[in-house]
Amino acid sequence: MSVNDDQTWAARALCAQDEPDALFVQGAAQRQVRTRCFACEVRLECLADALQSQANFGVWGGLTERERRAMLRHYPHITDWYEWLSTSSDELAQEIRTPGAPRVLAHTRR
């Protein structure tokens, strides 16, 4: 079962009780929103869901829309984002699994 099929993880998200508009901010406000994501137990599920559905707006799993677009362009062959995020030995996947902001743009510009 993919993350898209089972959305029960969303109820455990740190932002589950927040106003949705709080997650759809622009510019510097995104840094504040995404910092909270790095302490969330379902961050990988959230990010995988956003990548699978190609969510265009907001902060999901600690990444901005710009970072997610860069990942989608750089890894067009990925069909199961949760599997890749959870198990890949790729440097970016490993960095995403650690707490803190990954350097997505640096990895995808190589």
Residues in the annotated binding site for [4Fe-4S] cluster: 15, 37, 40, 46
Tokens representing residue 36 in the block: 């909270």
Query: How far apart, in whole angstroms, are the C-alpha atoms of residue 98 and residue 102?
Result: 8
What are the angstrom distances between the C-alpha of 6 and each of 9, 89, 91, 94, 105? Answer: 7, 25, 27, 24, 29
> Binding-site residues, please?
15, 37, 40, 46
- Number of H helices and number of E strands within the chain? 6, 0
